[in-house]
Chain A
């Protein structure tokens, strides 16, 4: 048995060297993977360059304000005219799985005014490009790798039958299942080798940190390849024609990579609509602008409840004072806080529903895993927005003492202003969950394939 397998693998190697189609497919997947690595890297590099350019814009803005207020300034003027950037730095693995980083803004321009309508700004991106999606290594592995596996496996048995070489094979002292196993093992080895090559190239070329995630990527894609080999095997042992196999396998691919995720998405969007974003923007405008008409005492009373330390500062007597303006800006933010929490929890629960449902689709599960590993998923973005809000609190903590103690804002004070960088991180919980799911569905597929095999072997004898 062992020797027969060895011979078989060796025969397959000889076949591989001579059969052009297998070689061609292998080259194609390498080529696609190479382009994926290149274009993912270009995308993330551009984001990094744009983020570092923000610093120039920030310094320009400060230079302009220094020129406008040459000696001292009212901190209110600075808070109103000065913009600071909250930035979402990509993880070193982001280039291999760009995820949602192209769709969500990776920086937010913040001023001291009410924060809520500053959190949802979108970036200049071509919607056509967004709709088509990124051509990164994750795309090649999630979408194209199964097609590659199908292309090299769909006719393993049927081709022998159709070429008339089957009888010859069966006349040898090996069983049909050993024969198929040998062929499949050879191809599986080839796929794992190619994927490992691509991942290694990706890590080297994009500068991804060679940490535990190399192993995560390798094991996830190996499991994923096993899943697809299992699917192919289930169809091969049915012993139908090559054409039948090709069509059915492509059908399964279509079902799992496009139709199932699309249906899950429709279900989660229709069943859990999120309208709070728009609602809270509208409400916040009402609250903030009503601030102009409300008696100042009332505004300050509500404000000081949150900031008792400023209660005994000088009162506002005139028509306008910055501290009064920023007080009602903050009250506007606070008035929509509960709506904002609802908005967040609805987004979360919608994403969770989609993630739970996506266990029916191995491709969707792998994509979730790779995005979580690179910190490029929705969770990472929500984490960034959350951290941008905390940053806005820090800005207020920096500016309010100037405003409420009537302290002049000096040129040196720009240097003390807080800055913000949020470093995207991988999400271990999501990775583990997705890995377990992948393992489970791979096992299920193998069980199904074995059952099919049991039912069909009897016919052959």
Chain B
């Protein structure tokens, strides 16, 4: 009997011209999103890989130079597109793509897409994630808002109940039927999108990538289930199709359009970010006056020199077996980088706290939960961005210290003329970036993961119970 009921919903959905039309539109949009996603992924990926190669090539082909010249010549880090990013652009459009890495100074990541676009970009982006997060829930609402109310209005529900079925059984059967109808649309579309993704990656997929994809798909299934069960629940608890629909659409508008903006704005009003100029000034001040305020740079250098003279048992710096210029610079770099790291962590923490308002709101709004989980899996969230910036800073620091080391060991005191052989730069490893693991990615968004699971779990447990308890004919 339940099977027949489920079958009935599936058949009537397939016969419903409006459902078929809407489904077709959504599949079409999904395909447009996937294809344009692949095209822009390929375009941006190629741009950045080429730019990275060009920058690396430039660095490696520098002639014989004084090492500190090279430290200022510097190197560039381009943020590679993560392989899943075309499913969910996430914050990629809003984050810088190119970092200049030089001695003494940490530069911002520049050339984000948003800075090179007009205001239109702010309306949103046509991505697979957008279709899955916004449009599929609407399709679900459209499909199910009158599933109970219509049967109440046409009094067919009484007939069903008189067959000895409970409301809970009917609800479950409906859930099953609609899930099958939805699967007809979503599964093939997602399979094609996944295939495109694999093709875009040259069919090379490691375990982490596959795991990300798998969890990505599973998370969306949970998300769809939440809307499907919730929508049927509301239909069952309402007397009229019209009121059920209005309530559902109201919830959708609140969840997808209004609430995310409110929480994001609230977060940034609550926690202030220092400007880049302010942060630079703080780093500069702390580096020259000492982190504790009474340990200025001259004093630190004097003490360092004294220690060095004592260590090598000589009277003047020119007698040292090493070049103190390089060592002093290395000391300065170490100190200022430590200060910068501290300030940067504070900044990243502020970002995190600003966004956590929205993440916690995920407990009220499953859209926010899936948004963060999806971005995390696609590698396009703020955490991945910060991870990249830290990798770039790490490379910058190592490069600067490597060059300071050459300065200290291969040049004489106050020697500004000698040029070191070009092989020194030619053989230095170029910047490469490795994306963190999926466990790390999800670990940054435990609140959202829990919120999504909680929503799914609660609806699963209470779906039939609530219906049985509050259902009225």
Contact = CB atoms under 8 A, between A and B. Distances in A.
B116 A274 contact: yes
A351 B118 contact: yes
Interface stretch (B2-10, B309-317, B347-355): B347-355
Interface string B103-123: 000011111111111111111
Interface in B164-215: none
Given A46-B272, A124-B275, A289 B69 contact: yes
A131 B265 contact: no
Nearest to B110: A120
A278 to B, nearest CB: 5
Nearest to B96: A122
B217 interface: no
A135 B261 contact: yes
A190 interface: no
Interface in B104-149: 107-126, 130, 134-135, 138, 142, 145-146
B119 A371 contact: yes
Given A132-B264, A364-B120, A125 B273 contact: yes
A438 to B, nearest CB: 16
Interface in A213-244: 242-243
Contact of A139 (B246, B261, B275, B347): B261
B116 A282 contact: no
A261 B51 contact: no
B126 A242 contact: no
A396 to B, nearest CB: 21
Nearest to A47: B275
Contact of A104 (B91, B95, B115, B276): B115
Interface string A254-295: 100111011111101110011101110110011001001100
Contacts of B278: 50, 53, 57
A421 interface: no
Nearest to A60: B281
Contacts of A46: 272
A5 B98 CA distance: 64
Contacts of A120: 110-111, 115
Given A285-B73, A293-B63, A278 B98 contact: yes
A54 interface: yes
B36 A133 contact: no
Contacts of A261: 120, 123-124
A363 interface: yes
B245 A377 contact: no
Interface stretch (B39-47, B300-308, B392-400, B434-442): B39-47
Interface stretch (B226-234, B252-260, B332-340): B252-260
Contacts of B124: 258, 261-262
Given A242-B242, A270-B43, A124 B119 contact: no
A270 B36 CA distance: 8
B82 to A, nearest CB: 15
B279 A282 contact: no
Interface string B21-57: 0000000010010001001100100010001001100
A262 B108 contact: no
Given A243-B242, A265-B123, A123 B40 contact: no
A126 interface: yes
Interface in A87-142: 99-100, 103-105, 107, 109, 117, 120-135, 139
A126 B116 contact: no
A402 B206 CA distance: 61
B40 A270 contact: yes
Contact of A103 (B115, B145, B262, B350): B115
B159 interface: no
Contacts of A279: 51
A127 B126 CA distance: 18
A133 B261 contact: yes
A347 B119 CA distance: 13
A122 B245 CA distance: 45
A355 B119 CA distance: 9
B123 A124 contact: no
Interface string B73-113: 11010100000000000110111111010000001111111
Nearest to A57: B281
A292 B257 CA distance: 55
Given A53-B278, A126-B268, A130-B114, A247 B120 contact: no
A85 B280 CA distance: 13
A329 interface: no
Contacts of B78: 278
Contacts of A347: 116
How extensive is the interface on chain B, given as a class? 35 or more
Nearest to B125: A262
B273 A265 contact: no
Nearest to B63: A293
Contacts of B381: 128
A434 B101 CA distance: 43
Contacts of B246: 246
B262 A35 contact: yes
A259 B115 contact: no
A123 B265 contact: no
B118 A377 contact: yes
Interface string A17-31: 000000000000000
A94 to B, nearest CB: 13
A174 B335 CA distance: 85
Interface string A317-358: 001100000000000000000000000000100110011001
A124 B63 CA distance: 36
B119 A127 contact: no
B416 interface: yes
Contacts of B134: 254, 258
A380 B390 CA distance: 33
A176 interface: no
Given A39-B265, A117-B100, A135-B261, A265 B117 contact: yes
Contacts of A273: 43, 47
B16 interface: no
A367 interface: yes
Contact of B107 (A60, A121, A162): A121
B67 to A, nearest CB: 13
A123 B276 contact: yes
B412 to A, nearest CB: 15
B269 interface: yes
Contact of A358 (B120, B258, B275): B120
A266 B264 contact: no
Contacts of A268: 120
B116 A277 contact: yes
Interface in B383-429: 385, 416-417
A109 B354 CA distance: 26
A232 B134 CA distance: 22
A42 B269 CA distance: 8
Given A57-B278, A242-B242, A266-B126, 6 more contacts: A103-B122, A117-B100, A128-B358, A243-B241, A243-B245, A246-B245
29 contacts: A39-B265, A105-B276, A109-B280, A120-B115, A121-B110, A122-B115, A124-B275, A125-B273, A127-B382, A128-B382, A129-B268, A130-B114, A133-B122, A135-B264, A162-B242, A254-B135, A258-B123, A262-B124, A262-B126, A266-B125, A269-B117, A270-B36, A275-B51, A286-B58, A292-B69, A363-B123, A364-B123, A367-B120, A378-B117
Interface of A: 32, 35, 39, 42, 46, 50, 53-54, 57, 60-61, 85, 99-100, 103-105, 107, 109, 117, 120-135, 139, 143-144, 147, 155, 162, 242-243, 246-247, 250, 254, 257-259, 261-266, 268-270, 273-275, 277-279, 281-282, 285-286, 289, 292-293, 319-320, 347, 350-351, 354-355, 358, 363-364, 367-368, 371, 377-378
Interface of B: 29, 32, 36, 39-40, 43, 47, 51, 54-55, 58, 63, 69, 72-74, 76, 78, 90-91, 93-98, 100, 107-126, 130, 134-135, 138, 142, 145-146, 241-242, 245-246, 249, 253, 257-258, 260-262, 264-265, 267-269, 272-281, 347, 350-351, 354-355, 358, 381-382, 385, 416-417
